[in-house]
Amino acid sequence: MATSRTTGGALGYLESRKNLTGCVCGLAGLGLTLAGQAGTFWPLVVGGLYGAGALLAPPEREAPPPFSETSELAAVRADFAALRPYLDAFDAPPAAAGSLAELDGLLTALLDPGWVADELVVDPEAVHALARAVRHDVPEAIDAYQRTRWWSRLTPGGEPPERHLERQLALIGRELTARAATIRESQEARQQTHTTDLEGRDPREP
């Protein structure tokens, strides 16, 4: 198994953008060598150009999974299950890792089958907010971060992409927390109503 994983990793690198871009730059170094421009240091020139190409190549980026378009809560739950491997494979920057973990836990709690799901089923706006978070907001935040991070290396000086990612995840979490608070308030109101009803039936009450 270890040999198989090592072989697969080696083959994966051979097909990667980094290796292909490095090879193109290395071939350019060979061209300089054949043209007599590299001199006796041609191995360093070829190796250096290969390394530079590998460093500057766009990183491999896993695409978000395809999602359903139905508005049923069961479909949103299935889409979140499909999103989980994508989240697990994402190497979150330290500044955003905590927010992503909290968001993952919040989505898990809201989408797990049970009485919370029963409450959500009767609230189309809450289901829509969950679907939007799972199918668009979270994957878009991660995908945009991975794309922008590469460009920020080529043109430094702008606002760090980590800051945008952290802000986006916090905003998504704030919206979902508000939805969870609405469910909590409805349960508190239900509990208070039942208490009031029982007090009204208490023969000791005047």
Q: Six-digit token pair at 179?
A: 């939805």
Region of poorest pLDDT, from 120-124, 135-139, 163-167: 120-124
Residue 145 shares a structural domain with residue 185: yes
Q: Which domain holds residue 175?
A: 73-200
124 shares a domain with 83 = yes
pLDDT over 50 at 62, yes or no: yes
Q: Is the pLDDT assigned to residue 147 strictly greater than 70? A: yes
Q: 147-156 long-range contacts, Cβ below 8 Å, gap at least 24? A: 147/61, 150/58, 150/59, 154/56
Residues 6+ apart with CB under 8 A from 68: 75, 76, 78, 79, 135
Answer whether 102's CB lies under 8 Å from 173's CB. Answer: yes
Average pLDDT of the segment spanning 105-113: 89
Closest CA to 68 of 16, 24, 19, 130: 130
Domain count for the chain = 2
The predicted-structure confidence for 2-57, as pLDDT tens digits, reads as follows 444 444 445 555 555 566 565 666 666 666 666 666 667 667 666 666 666 666 65
Q: Quick one: 47 and 137 in the same domain?
A: no
Question: Same domain, yes or no, for 28 and 97?
Answer: no
Overall average pLDDT of the 102-117 stretch: 87
What pLDDT sits at residue 186? 77
Global pTM value: 0.65
